[in-house]
Chain A
Amino acid sequence: MSKTDAQRRADQIRSFQAELELIEREKIISLNKRQRTAITAYHEKLLAHLSGLFDVDISKREKQLSLGLKISSFLGALGLAASIFFLFYQFWGRFSVGAQVCILIASPIMGLVATMVAARRERTGYFSKLFGMVAFACFVLNLSMLGQIFNITPSYNAFLAWGGFAFILAYAADTRLLLAAGIICFACFLSAAAGTWSGTYWIYFGERPENFFLPAIVSFFLPYFIPHKKFSGFDDIFRVFGMLLFFIPVLILANWGMISYITLNNATVEVIYQIAGFLFSALAIWLGIRKNWPDVINTGNAFFVLFLYTKFYDWWWDVMPKYLFFLVIGLTAVLAMLILKRLRKTGIDKAREMAK
């Protein structure tokens, strides 16, 4: 069980207690004292267990405070990371090369130690997440500054090292933000490697967006083969980033065929990617509904709408008066609402039939 699952269970208990209270007030049913005591004792024991293990929020007030802590932890990490960058830049020219190297190597190690100590001492994990992100920033600084000090030719292998470290910290401190950083670094590494294999200098990997398809596939299907049930929201992050890494390049190629590897006529390449965009975003919505993955449904929806509106812009922006163009956009949204409402009604009818 992950912290997210534990929190969901705690929320479910609170909802059950509120609903039971309402039902009893309406005199629909009434539990006897023994039943009530048994349920209350079970819930209290379960909540205490979950709270002890995962430090879940039991009341609404605790939940609000936790949100504040999450935001503060994120802002703190950003601030500390930026501060370390600027602190080093401010003084590094005053140190000998030996001292510079020692500071650069020591800083991510110290960040890692701080993350480890915080993870052991504090169950909520806010401080370990903060230190984890600072350790990652220190490691990025470490390699990039070593490159500057020794005039090293930049290499895409740095992304592999940064990605690996971000993954380690993400799993150790159960941090989704670091997981996202790891996925991005790993995607850059794989895309740069793919770009190099095709004969381009690696820094230009972004000039052929198809280079991102391999990391997109790896990221999307990884949780299917290796589920991360004990880590909070990791599967969702893998899938969403897999989709972003796939759909953003497709969206670019659907409009600029001249940067594709495909040697066909540019217009044909654009049509291929437009069809792929519609097809795969619709497929993602279908898969999301089938597997009950809300993140996949939402991302699929967002890209389907983006592909649709981009096409509308291409077809009609120049030829239609603006009021008519926006009327079409509005009517499309109404049409989408009608379709979704119908789908929802079908779902409710099916559920009722099954209940009968």
Chain B
Amino acid sequence: MKAFLSPTRLFIFGFALLLAVNIIALLGVAANRSGKPEALIELTERELRLPYKTNDENSGLALQLKWRIIGDSEHDSYRYGDWGSPAWFNAQKLAELGFTIDECTCLDENSKRRKVPLPKDAFVVLEYDGKAYQEALNRAEESLKKAEIALKASKHDKEVQDRFKEAKEQLESELTSASRLFAIDAGLDAGKLRERYGDRSRFIIMAGLVRLECRFNKIKKEVVGHISDIRADKINVPLRYRKIFDVILAQGKAFKSGPRYTVAVAYGSRFEPWIRRVGQLITGK
């Protein structure tokens, strides 16, 4: 064995392995970026956020993709990322995604037969500035209207005043700063999802992770789906696009009133994103 594993031979294997692995990784990147992009979408700071704070020991910069869900109750329209369950993610959708739902699925926490369910791979469809965003906007407007009526009825009630203020801020946020990117569907076949959501400048299909959850309330137990992760939700900013972001970061102002940049993001055949173009916006527009 020692002869076969002679140091010289091993070092040659080592070089070969290093080169082969790097070539495979770079070929994968090239394959992802070759041909027509799977999706090409222009997002703004509302959907792609700068990090809250920069790290002196890390000079790299990545933008964080902010996506939301619309829940089934009117209070569920403000949720970001993996908070809560989308209204469309019901037991039927879970079954479509390969989850087994039977009498053991939502057993009580103390049940001796309860098993911890594991998440599964799935493709998630994100819609940009579409019906889901309109629904969120309508809900915010409706909420403000209700708060206004309540305020007219009892002007001096502190709780009602706070609710009105909150609803107003919420609508303002929906109009100027909240993400317009919503998870609207999930499936196991990316091709079929693309057929259903054909507009590549509005719908992104991304690899993600879905979980089964049990919702317990006073009346019933309900099985719901939950998107626990969207893969590649951090997009690296190459040096040639850094200037705009460095200027914004140097100002040290938090994002509040309106997006300060646009980013054209392409998604390749392996659903991995890269930045195609960055543009600056005049603040507040």
Q: Is B101 an interface position by the 8 A CB rule? A: no
Residues of B within 8 A of A164 (CB): 17
Residues of B within 8 A of A101 (CB): 26
**Which of chain A's residues 78-106 have a Cβ closer than 8 Å to chain B?**
86, 89-97, 101, 105
**Which of chain B's residues 91-129 have a Cβ closer than 8 Å to chain A?**
98, 112-116, 118-121
* A171 x B239 contact (CB < 8 A): no
Q: Is B61 an interface position by the 8 A CB rule? A: yes
Residues of A within 8 A of B112 (CB): 265-267
Q: A89-B59, A93-B59 are in contact. Are A151 and B234 (CB under 8 A)?
A: yes
**Which of chain A's residues 148-176 have a Cβ closer than 8 Å to chain B?**
148-154, 161, 164-165, 168-169, 171-173
**Which of chain A's residues 107-124 have a Cβ closer than 8 Å to chain B?**
108-109, 112, 115-116, 119-120
* A96 x B113 contact (CB < 8 A): no
* B120 x A92 contact (CB < 8 A): no
* A149 x B1 contact (CB < 8 A): no
* A105 x B22 contact (CB < 8 A): yes
**Which of chain A's residues 209-232 have a Cβ closer than 8 Å to chain B?**
226-228, 230-231
A119 to B10, CA, bound (A): 12
Range of interface residues on chain A? 35 or more
CB distance from B217 to the nearest CB of A (A): 23
Q: Tally B residues with Cβ within 8 Å of A.
A: 50
* B60 x A92 contact (CB < 8 A): yes
Q: Is A349 an interface position by the 8 A CB rule? A: no
The answer, among A139, A152, A201, A263, for a CB contact under 8 Å with B120, is A201
Residue of B25, B57, B238, B242 with highest tally of chain A CB at under 10 A: B25
Among the 9-residue stretches B140-148, B150-158, B268-276, the one with 4 or more Cβ atoms under 8 Å from chain A is: B268-276
Residues of B within 8 A of A143 (CB): 21, 25
* A93 x B242 contact (CB < 8 A): yes
19 A–B contacts, CB within 8 A, in A order: A89-B60, A92-B60, A93-B58, A94-B239, A143-B21, A151-B236, A151-B273, A152-B272, A153-B231, A153-B271, A161-B17, A164-B17, A165-B14, A169-B14, A171-B10, A199-B118, A200-B118, A201-B120, A265-B113
Given contacts A168-B13, A207-B116, 19 further A-B contacts (CB under 8 A): A89-B59, A90-B57, A105-B18, A108-B18, A150-B272, A151-B274, A152-B25, A152-B232, A153-B232, A153-B272, A164-B17, A165-B17, A168-B14, A172-B14, A199-B120, A200-B119, A201-B119, A204-B118, A228-B1
Q: Is A142 an interface position by the 8 A CB rule? A: yes
* B236 x A148 contact (CB < 8 A): yes
* A119 x B14 contact (CB < 8 A): no
Q: Is B40 an interface position by the 8 A CB rule? A: no
A227 to B239, CA, bound (A): 51
Residues of A within 8 A of B254 (CB): none
Of all chain B residues, the one with the shortest Cβ separation from A107 is B18
Residues of B within 8 A of A92 (CB): 59-60
The answer, among B21, B114, B120, B235, for a CB contact under 8 Å with A161, is B21
Q: Is A46 an interface position by the 8 A CB rule? A: no
A207 to B273, CA, bound (A): 29
A201 to B188, CA, bound (A): 13
**Which of chain A's residues 254-306 have a Cβ closer than 8 Å to chain B?**
258-260, 263, 265-267
Q: Is B223 an interface position by the 8 A CB rule? A: no
Q: Is B219 an interface position by the 8 A CB rule? A: no
* B119 x A89 contact (CB < 8 A): no
Q: Is A70 an interface position by the 8 A CB rule? A: no
Q: Is A43 an interface position by the 8 A CB rule? A: no
* A151 x B18 contact (CB < 8 A): no
A228 to B17, CA, bound (A): 23
A306 to B234, CA, bound (A): 43
A116 to B7, CA, bound (A): 8
* A90 x B58 contact (CB < 8 A): yes
A interface residues (Cβ-Cβ under 8 A, vs B)? 86, 89-97, 101, 105, 108-109, 112, 115-116, 119-120, 139, 142-143, 146, 148-154, 161, 164-165, 168-169, 171-173, 199-201, 204, 207-208, 226-228, 230-231, 258-260, 263, 265-267
* B239 x A96 contact (CB < 8 A): yes
* B18 x A258 contact (CB < 8 A): no
The answer, among A94, A120, A226, for a CB contact under 8 Å with B59, is A94
A150 to B240, CA, bound (A): 14
Q: Is B209 an interface position by the 8 A CB rule? A: yes
A25 to B240, CA, bound (A): 83
Of all chain B residues, the one with the shortest Cβ separation from A149 is B236
* B240 x A96 contact (CB < 8 A): yes
A265 to B62, CA, bound (A): 46
* A148 x B62 contact (CB < 8 A): yes
Q: A93-B239, A151-B236, A152-B28 are in contact. Are A86 and B57 (CB under 8 A)?
A: yes
The answer, among B14, B59, B119, B236, for a CB contact under 8 Å with A204, is B119
CB distance from B49 to the nearest CB of A (A): 16
Residues of A within 8 A of B28 (CB): 152
Closest 8 CB pairs of A and B: A93-B59, A172-B10, A93-B60, A230-B2, A200-B118, A161-B21, A150-B29, A168-B14
* B120 x A200 contact (CB < 8 A): yes
Q: Is B15 an interface position by the 8 A CB rule? A: yes
Contact with A along B67-101 (1 / 0, CB 8 A): 00000000000000000000000000000001000
Q: Is B216 an interface position by the 8 A CB rule? A: no
Residues of A within 8 A of B18 (CB): 105, 108-109, 112, 139, 142, 165
CB distance from B206 to the nearest CB of A (A): 10
Residues of B within 8 A of A96 (CB): 238-240
* B114 x A258 contact (CB < 8 A): yes
Q: Is B5 an interface position by the 8 A CB rule? A: yes
A50 to B21, CA, bound (A): 39
